[in-house]
Structure 1
Amino acid sequence: MLQFPDGPVPLESKFYIERPPIEALTCQELCKPGSVIRIQAPRKMGKSSLLIRILAFARSKEFHTVHIDLQRADEEIFTTLERFLRWFCYTISRQLDLVPLLDQYWDDEIGSKISCTFYLQERILANLTEPVVIALNEVNRLFEYPTIAKEFLPLLRSWYEEAKQVDILKLMRLVVVHSTEIYVPLNINQSPFNVGLPIKLPEFTLNQVKDLALRHELDSEWCESSDLADLVTLVGGHPYRIRMALMYLQQGGMTIQHLLDEAATLSGIYQYHLRELLDILQAHPKLLTAFTQLVHTEGSIALDPILTYKLESMGLAKLDGNRARLSCQLYERFFKTQLFPTASQETQVISLTNHHRVQQLERENLELQQLVNVDSLTQVANRRYFDHSLTRAWQQLSQQQEPLSLILCDIDFFKTYNDTYGHQAGDTCLQKVARIISQCAQRPTDLVARYGGEEFTILLPNTGATGASQVAQVIQKEMQMLSLPSAPAQTRQFSSVYGDKSSSLLDGERFIVAPEEIPPSQHPSSGVSSPSVTLSFGVASVVPSSIDCPEALVMAADRALYESKARGRNRITLSSEFHFGI
């Protein structure tokens, strides 16, 4: 039975194509005590399909197996690190048919990470006679909760390193699987993604595509024809794109010529995939500018390293050393018509007589787009582009019924800062703050914008209140680490306020702080200076609907921001009206 290429390829399916030597390498590594395998690739490249076969091999060796898919975890699991680690240990216990005894091993005095380690060693591994393979799938979801990611991922790394000396940890093998659309920049020396065996899934070769076509029962002569080679030239060897095409061809409702002609249009078989990429690019002015340069360049081009990495992680670009090139002709054809349809038509005429002039016009067009959409001082999106992106995200997520979060943040006492140090220093401060915010919101769908003056916005699609609040916390901590000297006679408070009852979130725990309980040294009237510039935050989260409007989300975040300032600044306040996903 023909399978729609959505989701992992079942173990018994004939449509799984091996990519030597990957399968052999992973099986060999799995037999090593205390090993770690990390599988990373863009979406729909076959990560979960490979994981299924790794676990099957482990069971054939009579290893115990645990499969933890983070996409299946409720959002409340990610509320605090302790909540997440207890869920992690409980899930392992249940899958291994061990009675969970978390309370016997959990000790607040030593913290949740050490408690989790003791539980793993003394309750899980000590009761096993054979190795156990713990597979963590969709780890990319963890990056939506940076405070947890920055604690849990180094914990995995520490287990891997300790396994070299601690015999009990040698029983454990870890398989970490994630998409390359990374959410926050992690310290590479503390992340588990720089240890163990790295597996980067390549695209199919032409011979592998021929093999897959034969398994789809397509004519063997056609599989050797130039038509199949033309298909690979157009869409590359990406497993999902190839299988989509072969499925339609096998069903007989479409000829290869019709498929090739329509593939790069909004009526072709890849329309949803292309629309999704287009939405992501249009929500990111800098990424869009870099990608447009790539589309209109023959061969490869040197781009900003971070933007190059993002384009590669989305599957839009491939690397030739430090230079980037388009991953396939499908993207070139589609985006040339969708990003600049008029310019594209004119190009076809002008290029016949003056190719260099066309390239100059394209560069000028990119510069004009940069001026229209990007704030010239901070190099993040401007208010105009934010308003446009908010409306588009609202419409899209309203159809998908997924959450949309908005963070409004404001530099505390910025007027005093300007008056004290001068406007040039004030501009430098704005640039540094914008850089920190951008570093903490790096998903392709996230948008950082300068809302006006010293106020910034962070638009977070597919993110609930908990995830958005944690992003705000990371920004707050990064600002403290920046230690940008504040103006004299300013006071800060270092708690995070939640809701209209002043319920605070510190280290993920909710508690109540009454205004009269604020220590005098932290009270706004005390006149005590804070060591560094701080931000106040307002957070709002909602599932968009036709009942509300985007402006209501902005107003809710603005009221939360006002409450943060009214209660002493340097706070994170969640809207009491829009707080979906808390």
Structure 2
Amino acid sequence: MTLEQVITFLKAVDPGLTPVQEWVLIQSWNAKTYSEMAAERHYRVEYIRRVGAELWSVLSAALQIPITKPYLRDLLEGYDLSLVQQQMSESQPPPQSAQMGGFPSAPLSADSPFYVPRPPIEALALACIQEPGSLLRIKAPTKMGKSSLILRILAAAKSLDYQTVSLDLQQADQAVLANSNRFLRWFSANLSLRLDLPPQLDQFWDDEIGSKVSCTYYVEKAILAPLQCPLVLALDEVNCIFAHPEIATEFLPLLRAWHARARQIPQWQNLRLVLAYATEVYVPLNLNQSPFNVGLPLELPCLSEAQVQSLVLQYGLDLKSDAKLKQFVSLVGGFPYLVQLGLYYLQSGMATLDQLLAEAATESGIYRQHFRQLLGLLQSEPPLLDAFKQVIAADGLKLEAITAYRLTSLGLIQLSGNLAAPSCELYRAYFRSQFLP
């Protein structure tokens, strides 16, 4: 067997194979010692040895021969591939009926069968968080799957024995957003609480040195020092602070500074930042202070027709040869939430595909509540509503930058260069019926 065949076999007999297990297998195949692996990725040797022992146990049980690290390659390179293929055939579970998908109102859990990977995004994200002092940026409009991806990233981090914290910045009260000092204290206290560490704000906060220095000192001494292992800190809905310039201009450069400290202070290499946001930053930041021009940027695309088809199969729907499926994908533009909602109604029997397509852009269709939410958001901000009405009336319209960013963050428009158009035919049809005579 080749290394690739061994990995394929392992994934067949153990669907829960983690990225770190696969990495240890590859390194062991290439004769790396556990100590060398640990030094390369900043792991404890005991942890790598434990991962290896679990791997050899799985392989031994599956192949019914004793596998150990020193003889791994010699044994497997000489193993008969036909026997492996037989083992893989025997290991396949019997077909099961499709799982019922829940109503798509929350992020998908890390092990949800209804999560659709968008290669190479997941692999790049998991590789990024394993880099010392890394910063990962995930940008996509609302309801595109940012939070679901974060849950998968954090689950992978936990499998590596990392500590993890996820903070949704939408949870900050208006009173917290009133000034930067209060926000940074809220942020620091939440870190401690999520990690089951005692909050020690008064011990580390000093008005004489300022809130940013106090917050940095707190993260270093009260968070990173006691953990002594990598910490993946995911900040979701970062764009919600863009509307609070005092917070944004203090907190965002602080994140950039923490990322930079990893190059100078080993302890800060344990901090791995993940920032999720819905639009371009529209607060004025010095280029050398912005966290949005460093680190690894990832933008989540809409689902392709093939990806929607895989989701259709997961829902147990027989639409493979139905030309109307293409019509459905074209209508919703591959937006994950719109796709999931449609498939949920089809699987539950509350709508047929013909009915869904006929009524999708109307007040009696399955998207009516979603439309009302969007319409309510637009009506609460008349300038935004007026701008979107212009886009609906005439495609290829140039909008003022902040207006364009905000409409993009809602998923309502897509930009081609500087020109805006409705992001999908569903929105075009519904809002045209609302805005135009």
Same fold at TM > 0.5 = yes
Check if 1:185 corresponds to 2:283: yes
CA contact (8 A) 1:210 1:224 kept: no
Candidates 318, 327, 335, aligned match of 1:230? 327
Shift of residue 321 of structure 1?
A: 2.9
Shift of residue 262 of structure 1?
A: 0.8
Find the counterpart in structure 1 of residue 407 from structure 2. Answer: 311
Aligned equivalents of 2:168, 2:384: Cα separation in 1: 30
Q: Which has the higher strand share?
A: 1
Aligned equivalents of 1:309, 1:142: Cα separation in 2: 14
Check if 1:329 corresponds to 2:425: yes
How much is the aligned-residue C-alpha RMSD, in angstroms? 2.2
Q: Which has the larger radius of gyration?
A: 1
Candidates 189, 201, 223, aligned match of 1:102? 201
Aligned equivalents of 2:194, 2:266: Cα separation in 1: 23
Find the counterpart in structure 2 of residue 271 from structure 1. Answer: 368
Aligned equivalents of 2:429, 2:188: Cα separation in 1: 49
Find the counterpart in structure 1 of residue 235 from structure 2. Answer: 136
Shift of residue 195 of structure 1?
A: 2.0
Give secondary structure in 1 for the equivalent of 2:242. helix
Q: 1:218 to 1:334 in 2, by over 3 A?
A: same
Find the counterpart in structure 2 of residue 417 from structure 1. Answer: none
CA contact (8 A) 1:181 1:314 kept: no
Shift of residue 89 of structure 1?
A: 2.0
Equivalent pairs, count:
337
1:66-81 maps to which residues of 2 (within 5 A)? Answer: 66-81=165-180
Find the counterpart in structure 1 of residue 338 from structure 2. Answer: 241
CA contact (8 A) 1:34 1:169 kept: yes
> Percentage identity across aligned positions?
50
Shift of residue 119 of structure 1?
A: 1.7
Q: Which has the higher helix share?
A: 2
CA contact (8 A) 1:106 1:115 kept: yes
Aligned equivalents of 2:191, 2:400: Cα separation in 1: 42
Aligned equivalents of 2:247, 2:387: Cα separation in 1: 32
CA contact (8 A) 1:318 1:326 kept: yes
Aligned equivalents of 1:295, 1:72: Cα separation in 2: 33
**TM-score for the superposition, normalised by structure 1:** 0.55
Check if 1:254 corresponds to 2:351: yes
Candidates 9, 13, 16, aligned match of 2:115? 16
> Where does structure 1 lack aligned partners over 5 or more consecutive residues?
342-582
Aligned equivalents of 1:101, 1:149: Cα separation in 2: 24
* 194-203 or 3-12, larger mean C-alpha shift: 194-203
Amino acid of the structure 1 residue aligned with 2:424: C
Q: 1:3 to 1:122 in 2, by over 3 A?
A: same
CA contact (8 A) 1:42 1:181 kept: no
Q: 1:309 to 1:136 in 2, by over 3 A?
A: closer
Shift of residue 144 of structure 1?
A: 4.4
Identify the structure with bigger relative contact order (alpha carbons < 8 Å, sequence gap 6+): 2
> What do the CA deviations read for 1:165-198 (whole angstroms, capped 9, x no partner)?
222211111111223387x624262332222112
CA contact (8 A) 1:180 1:313 kept: yes
Find the counterpart in structure 2 of residue 202 from structure 1. Answer: 301
1:89-128 maps to which residues of 2 (within 5 A)? Answer: 89-128=188-227
Amino acid of the structure 1 residue aligned with 2:343: L
Aligned equivalents of 1:128, 1:305: Cα separation in 2: 42
Amino acid of the structure 2 residue aligned with 1:201: L
CA contact (8 A) 2:144 2:337 kept: yes
Give secondary structure in 1 for the equivalent of 2:408. helix
Shift of residue 106 of structure 1?
A: 1.7
Shift of residue 254 of structure 1?
A: 1.5
**TM-score for the superposition, normalised by structure 2:** 0.72
Shift of residue 329 of structure 1?
A: 1.1
Check if 1:164 corresponds to 2:263: yes
1:498-517 maps to which residues of 2 (within 5 A)? Answer: none
Shift of residue 284 of structure 1?
A: 5.0
CA contact (8 A) 1:209 1:242 kept: yes
Amino acid of the structure 2 residue aligned with 1:258: Q
> Where does structure 2 lack aligned partners over 5 or more consecutive residues?
1-99
1:308-457 maps to which residues of 2 (within 5 A)? Answer: 308-341=404-437
> What do the CA deviations read for 1:76-96 (whole angstroms, capped 9, x no partner)?
433432222223222222333
Shift of residue 160 of structure 1?
A: 1.1
> What do the CA deviations read for 1:285-319 (whole angstroms, capped 9, x no partner)?
55445434433446x45444444333323212222
CA contact (8 A) 2:280 2:405 kept: no
